[in-house]
Amino acid sequence: MTLPTLRTRIRRHALLTASVAVTAGVLLPTSALAATGAPPPAGAVAAGHWVEVTDAPTGIKVELPGKPKVEKYTKAKDGVEGRVYMAGNDDRATGFAVFDVPRAKDLKVALRAFLGGCNRYSQSPRDVLTGTVTKETDVNGRRTLDARLSAKDGTVGATRFIYDGSHYVQLMSLSTEKQAASMTRTYRQLLDSLRMPTPTAISHAGTRRS
């Protein structure tokens, strides 16, 4: 599996994670995975080779290593409102996604759905992307899950899932094993650049406090 192919899988199947959150584990049909192309957001500002991107509906900001490709999902067409921002080249893929989800399921379910979507068209066991949870926590009212990603073909990476009671966010970076050190630095900068508005207060049960 080449990284360009993997990036295509991630973009094509990013909705799977959101669909699990929305439909309590029942995946949307394949036809719901079609995305509406969108130009880079007007708020994108170059900072060296990194680009600051603002998800306009939520105000969530993040920096990506290059001009992102953007895909939009709509409730009418896809069952959920969301945006996916991806940047990368032949050696790596880095991106983040924001979905407007009033009720999210266990983030481990979301991780499994993401991996299932990426692996749907794997042609070899060496292509199969796997994830190992490294940390689950609650930071400032946001449920957070971190996981390492890897495949036997040498693909390595990391991802973080965040839920704040109203929005479901995923950050992700992948590379070849030879680029692992550089990918780690890229991923750390990605995480450090994330800026989210004050979240809706949520209880440990995952419901909003009144």
Domain that holds residue 135: 3-193
Radius of gyration of the chain (CA): 16
Q: CB neighbours (10 Å) of residue 62?
A: 25
10 pLDDT higher than 80: no
User: Domains in the chain: how many in total?
Assistant: 1
Contacts with 154 (C-beta within 8 Å, 6 or more apart), sequence order: 176, 177, 178
> The pTM is what?
0.77
Domain assignment present for 62: yes
Domain assignment present for 25: yes
Q: Which residue has the higher pLDDT, 43 or 163?
A: 163
Domain assignment present for 201: no
CATH number at residue 124: 3.40.1000.10
Token pair listed for 52: 């600051």
Q: What percent of the chain has pLDDT over 90?
A: 28
pLDDT at position 42, please?
40
Token pair listed for 103: 């009720």
pLDDT at position 59, please?
93
- Report the DSSP beta bridge partners of residue 157: 149, 174
pLDDT in tens, 32-91: 223 333 343 444 444 448 999 999 999 999 999 988 888 888 888 877 788 889 887 666
Residue spans of alpha helices (H) in 141-198: 180-193
